[in-house]
Chains A and B, each alone.
Chain A
Amino acid sequence: MTEFSDLLALAVVNVLIWAGIFVYLWRLDAKVKRLESEKE
């Protein structure tokens, strides 16, 4: 049976990976927004 701490570790790792993905996407989004307002 897997320990709770193992599952917790997995969850934390997941969250970290997702946080990384989201930071990338956020920055991309901000950049696109900036470029869009520039174009007007």
Chain B
Amino acid sequence: MNMEIKKSPLHHEIYVVFIKDVKSELRTKVAANAILLFALTTLFLVSYVVGPYRIAPADQPYILSAWLWIIFFFSAMSGLSRVFVKEEETNTSIALQLAARPEAVFLGKFFFNLVLMLGIALVITPLYVILMEFPVQSWSHFIIVIFLGLTGMTTGVTIIGAIVAKASMKGTLFPILSFPIIIPLLLAVIEGTSMTARSASLAQTMQLTSVIIAFTGAMFVLSLLLFEKVWLE
């Protein structure tokens, strides 16, 4: 019997994977809640324990930037592996392997993770700026850096989630594997965020931004290439 499966266009498959995850997430809201709660708890802890007045104004850009990204990073660690881990746990992984192309699965889940993180950022960032009195000098730069940073983080971390889903000790393994990968990006992004709080030269900002974009781009391409090996049995 000739089993010719008609391939639907890539963007359609990506969309389907994405929507499926969104729908299942909206039903239970597990990942979103986990990330949100983690982020809020850390934020309030930092704000309560240290607060904006205990840090010298000269140090504020660096310290506050670092904390913001620590919050983002660990929030990501608490929620972004779910897209893959839940497929393994509910045994839908094989079905998904048959239903969609690996690239589509990766991209669909990547966009899901990205939307998740950006959503969290929408809540956390304003709160952080208000509670910690983050002295943003250039709002456009600030928003761009946050967006680029989160995109880069999600890019690096999605495929790690896929790897972790197929291993054991998934919860603890995810940060262990992700941290060394993401650190170069975090260093650049934290520096970039601190630049928006103090007057930094355009040259420096450009250099840092190009590092961030280069890193994200390289990770993205490599993830696309490697994902198939991880995903297919």
Contact flag (A, B; Cβ within 8 A): no
Contact residues of A with B, CB < 8 Å?
A: none
The residues of B with any CB-CB pair to A shorter than 8 Å are none
